[in-house]
Amino acid sequence: MRLMWKSVDKMRCFRKRSMFPFLGFLITFLLFFNLYMDDGYVLEAEKRQLGETLMHSANSERYVHTFRDLSNFSGTINVTYRYLAGIPLPRKKYLTIGLSSVKRKKGNYLLETIKSIFDQSSYEELKEIVVVVHLADFDLVWCENLVQEITRKFAHHIIAGRLLVIHTPEEYYPSLDGLKRNYNDPEDRVRFRSKQNIDYAFLLNFCTNLSHFYMMLEDDVRCSRNFLTALKKVITSREGSYWVMLEFSKLGYIGKLYHSKDLPRLAHFLLMFYQEMPCDWLLIHFRGLLAQKDVIRFKPSLFQHMGYYSSYKGAENKLKDDDFEEDSIDIPDNPPAGLYTNINVFENYDATKAYSSIVDEYFWGKPPCTGDFFVIIFNKSTKISRIKIVTGTEDRQNDILHHGALEVGQKSVETKQGRQCTSYITLGEFKGGNIEVNNVDHKIGFDIECVRIVVTASQKEWLIIRTISLWTTQPVSQLKK
């Protein structure tokens, strides 16, 4: 009789363990048949392939996926993930947005964060993103309840392949006991930040092959409108330059952009040093080891921290990014170009820094003379709709261009001094050190090859060109070489 009851108890435990992944699969399966075939966001070929995959999953339990040997590191990551909602589409997207979330003692902002990502994206932008949520808590009941909420509120996005929810079983985590007490942190703090490093490592590992770029966010974030379009403009403007991490927020792990090809190495790096220091410190070391010496952070910030209670003990966290702007669509395009000037440059404040949207970068030159110039020569001619140039800074308000003109040119030719335009027309004069011209494409009858600033009177003051902002009439994707 006692043996019989033990057998019954084992069956109950087995059913309890089996119910969680089964429910996740069942929810996805039912959502597919009820909603997916009517979703116009997904290509028909993708619908057929996803449908076949789901049908195959019912018989073979292929709702888990294993990753092995993702980099040349000596160690390997061998993790089996549970799909709790959605499965990846076969077509690579432009951007993956990764979120890792655990149960908080106070508040939960994950649903608001997911909603902000989708609400702030246009129809076209939604086609190019996939959001991966890693529910990294070991409380399976909490995970199951949250998955049900997510599938109820975001069923359409799950079915369209824009939202995946995954879980890494606890048995794949290294020991979280007896960890190093670096920085005199208490044991529970060390455990929290060490586990967080592993959570992110497993998330990065999963996202490696989903898209061309990867954006790291926290689970308590608000997004600016059309943030993907803004990201694309920045990525296009950085074409040909080396970078490991671009930053679109100055807070924590929010708004950190990577090439997807670097994710395996970053995942290994976080696992190797998971107990040494917090994740944001490790990210800085990773960037430096891959030879990106300086922070490359852009303004305005595209993401804002909105959580009031931290995921660590429910402590208050009132941090806000004062560079955040809700509407980011006004970010300039600044198509790829070469920049030249005959003004004497001070130290390393070279001409290219006036064309950058990186925080605290600008051109700084010694006092210019009549006839001196600062010219931008595009890699290819383009239609410009708006030009805005700002000189001087808050700290050096007199280092402005006191007398100058803005010109646009065409018919570029190669000369001993480099490529130059042979024909220019004047758009306007600087006033108070600044100039802004709208509807440029309506005022001139040619595609622009050069934009030139000409000094029309000598000055004693030095010259800071803080920002040169150009907006085009062409989609960002067409501005690439």
As a whole number of angstroms, the distance between CA 120 and CA 105 comes to 28
Number of H helices, E strands in the chain: 11, 19
- Residue 154 pLDDT exceeds 80: yes
- Residue 4 pLDDT exceeds 50: no
| Number of alpha carbons in the 13 Å side-chain half-sphere of residue 262 | 20
Is this structure's pTM higher than 0.85?
Answer: no
Q: What is the mean pLDDT of residues 262-287?
A: 89
Q: What is the mean pLDDT of residues 38-48?
A: 44
Maximum average pLDDT range among 28-42, 115-129, 184-198, 234-248: 115-129
- Residue 65 pLDDT exceeds 80: no
Summarize pLDDT for 293-334 with one digit per residue, the tens: 888 888 778 888 775 444 545 455 556 655 655 665 577 888
- Residue 478 pLDDT exceeds 60: no
- Residue 135 pLDDT exceeds 50: yes
Q: Which residues pair with 258 in a beta bridge?
A: 214, 245
- Residue 52 pLDDT exceeds 80: no
Q: Hey, what CATH topology would domain 82-305 get?
A: Spore Coat Polysaccharide Biosynthesis Protein SpsA; Chain A (3.90.550)
Q: Where in the chain is the domain with CATH 2.60.120.260?
A: 337-472
State the pLDDT confidence band at 108, using cuts at 50, 70 and 90: confident
Q: What is the pLDDT of residue 368?
A: 96
Question: pLDDT > 70: what percent of the chain?
Answer: 77
37-46, 283-292, 393-402, 430-439 — which is least confidently predicted?
37-46
Summarize pLDDT for 227-239 with one digit per residue, the tens: 998 888 888 878 7
- Residue 240 pLDDT exceeds 70: yes
Q: What is the pLDDT of residue 390?
A: 93
Q: Where in the chain is the domain with CATH 3.90.550.10?
A: 82-305
Q: What is the pLDDT of residue 300?
A: 79
The runs of H, that is alpha helices, within 43-127 are 44-60, 110-119, 123-126
Q: Hey, what CATH topology would domain 337-472 get?
A: Jelly Rolls (2.60.120)
Query: Given strand 463-472, what is the order of strands in its sheet?
Result: 363-365, 463-472, 384-391, 434-438
**Helix H or strand E encompassing 8:** helix 2-35
Residue 347's contacts (CB-CB under 8 Å, 6 or more residues apart) are: 364
